[in-house]
Chains A and B, each alone.
Chain A
Amino acid sequence: MATRTSTKNNSNGVAAITADEAIKPSNGKVISKPASPQRIKVLKTYKNYVGGQFPRTESGRYYALVLKGGEVVNVGLSSRKDFRNSVLIAREAQEKWHGKTALNRSQILYRIAEMLETRTAQFVSELMSQGRTENQAKKEVEASVDRMIYYAGWCDKYNQVFSAVNPVNSSHFNFSSTEPVGVVAAIAPQENGLIGLVSVIAPIIASGNTCIILAASTLPLCAVTFGEVLNSSDLPGGVVNILTGDVAELLPHFSNHMDVNAVYISTNDKELIKLVETNAAINVKRARTENEIDWMDAGVESPYRIMDFLEVKTTWHPIGI
């Protein structure tokens, strides 16, 4: 239970940092008073989700986040090394994930939605602890479940929409079909804690890509909890790897890694887009950049977001005896 109704406890002299403020290291923890005098609550450690496990950042670094109500959580400040380890794991997982049948991937994405739905209360309370009203939080979680179901349904359909049998002017059978681009490094939308994350991950993994995604820096709690959802939904470890940390620090590494096939960011910061697109050229990475958008709007749902992370493969074979 992440939400507290207790008063701000600043008795140890640590200034309160709200979830909306910038990342700052803290010198200590502010532990709010337990809600019930009978029992001390067990607080959750927020860790990365990598390779189906929950490791701490190898760097040992953290940033402190003060939740609404005063509780302070220490969030891992992931390093370049964490990212590079995640890429190895994502690469390892990619072929196997793509090798699953489209129906199987569809059912696993649907299972993610089921797990998300059953944890609605937890996500709502986390979003509220990070400054959302109850109504906003509920809507965001519901939209996230629906978004996941939307893309679950596409897993075994998009290839029919985007493929073609090509009537070539010779005696050959020729068809173009899509394949996942491979390993995708993505920055989750920074404006919200869950709906943006889910909306970016779902179309990437629907086709058989694996990804490393950096959670929203100031709203990281749901990303970590979403890792728990993934972990209990038959999604193989390594398909989605979630790191917490600082965008400015990790973006150069996300965009210039030689074994990443595509990089994604949505931001209104032109310099960040330029950085990503420049670095992407090092290995002709596919850079997918866009301005911030309203992820709550169902209009963002599109199979073309799946297509953004696909390659078209054309196969020829002679016709004859």
Chain B
Amino acid sequence: MDFSSGFSYAPAPESSSHVKLQKQYELFIDGKWQKPVKGKYFDTVNPATEQVLARVAEATDEDVDKAVKAARKAYDTVWSKMPARERGKYIYRIARMIQERAREFSVIESMDGGKSIRESRDVDVPLAANHFFYYAGWADKLEYAFPGKKPEPLGVAGQIIPWNFPLLMAAWKIAPALATGNTVVLKPAETTSLTALKLAEIIQESGLPDGVVNIITGAGATGAAIVNHPDINKIAFTGSTGVGKRIQQSIAGTGKRLTLELGGKAANIIFEDAALDQAVEGIVNGIFFNQGHVCCAGSRLFVQEGVADKVIRKLKDRMETLIVGDPMDKNTDIGAINSAEQLKRIKEYLKIGVAEGAEMYQPSCAIPKKGYFCPPTLFFHTSQSHRIVQEEIFGPVLTIQTFRTVEEVIEKANNTPYGLSAGVWTDKGSKIFNMTTKLKAGVIWANTYNKFDPTSPFGGYKESGFGREGGLHGLSAYLKNS
């Protein structure tokens, strides 16, 4: 279809005038903003404009040690002694304050991370607030979660989160840790520190006792210092499988508890009897949501042969309507790639895909000249052995394969070291249950995709990590159950 004539969208930018950003951010340790011991800072950049938004402190071993000591002191003297109900009330407060400042948070999230304002406003920020709200209520009800067990906190939790959902991941980590009575040292990713630092402001304003949550910024070395600190009882990491494996090795034999939420290469499977228009929406949402910077992205499409031509035609048509560009514009579907480094990685994979013999397709969308952008991309004629099919690209890149039988597609879908998520599209109930039972993944979306909820456990099989975040099951990662 030709969409080039007719309507065009007028710019509809979200205003950033009410956003309060400082020029420089210190480390949030023991309830106070503290300068880094070594005095190092780094810039955080708006990936859509390449402009510097703020300078952020780089925490070194000394700062990590200060943060862990503060967390330990808060655990020993205040947090572990506080009645569970009062603990819960603090968490409720945090939830409410995120809701109150939701607009500011979503604007900063889009400025710092590049995701479209529609997504940060409608997905990231409300989910983050709801996550705190959900776990707040668990604080005084933990004995009902694990029958026959006496739940006790672990102590100090070290938490390292990625750049794809900065505030949401902070909520996923902090909320259950606090509800279960642990104290926290959290490090956001170096390209997206700002909403975590704004969360620290809320935590400070909420009156949460000093040291219960410490938020320190930095890159890989800061994360390693947290992982290797001897007085940390639990590590929770979300990020790449490569780093996850190194963390698992680092803490071997230390007795530290560990949960890992790692990479994925999810199959999204369309059967002939699916509602095809809905399935096409599901394909688009599955791979282009958050520019494909989603560990559970439906990055491997499997279409049953009989409808392959039709689905691909509809998909191409739908892609023509996608708006790539300014993350702050309310009409934007696909925002900026998070960093120059990530854009480079994605472009390398595009080259690899072509070199391996796959056919690349991109719609005729306009791309802004400045900033880091990548058009939504399809690869046809791919096979299981292609690197673009096997490896996580973490961008808006979809590989497409066809299949004939149920057995064939199950075999292909499961033929990956990952096992985080999968999607199935069919109108036949018995087929759904057959598929959802046989797909080896922690989250299965049937006739939907990329849905998240505080009550819904999330986490992977195999090399996508272990442990669950969200829901009742998310509590066990922060408890010793004696």
Contacts and interface: CB of A to CB of B under 8 A. Distances in A.
Interface residues of A, number: 38
A244 to B, nearest CB: 27
A278 B249 CA distance: 5
Given A284-B244, A286-B466, A312-B457, A278 B445 contact: no
B459 A312 contact: yes
Interface of A: 161, 164, 166-170, 172, 174, 176, 181, 261, 270-271, 273-278, 280-284, 286-287, 302-304, 311-318
Nearest to A284: B463
B447 A261 contact: no
B456 A312 contact: no
Contacts of A278: 249, 252-253
B432 A270 contact: no
Given A176-B473, A316-B446, 7 more contacts: A174-B455, A174-B456, A274-B252, A302-B148, A314-B456, A316-B445, A317-B446
B279 to A, nearest CB: 12
B221 to A, nearest CB: 20
14 contacts: A161-B147, A168-B453, A168-B455, A174-B456, A176-B468, A281-B245, A284-B248, A284-B462, A284-B464, A311-B442, A313-B461, A315-B436, A316-B456, A317-B446
B241 interface: yes
| Most chain B CB atoms below 10 A, which of A281, A311, A314 | A314
Contacts of B445: 315-316
B446 A274 contact: no
Contacts of B253: 270-271, 273-274, 277-278
A24 B436 CA distance: 51
Contacts, number: 113
Contact of B457 (A167, A176, A273, A287): A176
A317 B249 CA distance: 37
B472 interface: yes
B417 A166 contact: no
B456 A168 contact: yes
Contact of A317 (B432, B442, B462, B481): B432
A313 B245 contact: no
A276 B251 CA distance: 12
6 closest residue pairs by CB, A with B = A274-B253, A277-B252, A281-B248, A168-B453, A278-B252, A166-B455
A318 B425 CA distance: 11
B447 A317 contact: yes
Contacts of A318: 447-448
B331 interface: no
Which residue of B246, B456, B461 has the most chain A CB atoms within 10 A of its CB atom? B456
Contacts of A167: 455
Contacts of A161: 147
B451 interface: yes
A276 B249 CA distance: 10
Contacts of B432: 317
Contacts of B458: 314
Given A274-B253, A278-B253, A284 B148 contact: no
Contacts of A166: 453, 455-457, 471
Contacts of B462: 261, 283-284
A314 B466 contact: no
Nearest to A283: B463
Contacts of B227: none
A311 B481 contact: no
Contacts of A174: 453, 455-456
B443 interface: yes
Contacts of A283: 417, 462-463
Contacts of A281: 245-246, 248-249, 252
A304 B252 CA distance: 22
B344 interface: no
Contacts of A181: 461
A261 B466 CA distance: 11
A282 B453 contact: no
Nearest to B464: A284
Contacts of A316: 443-446, 448, 451, 456
B453 A284 contact: no
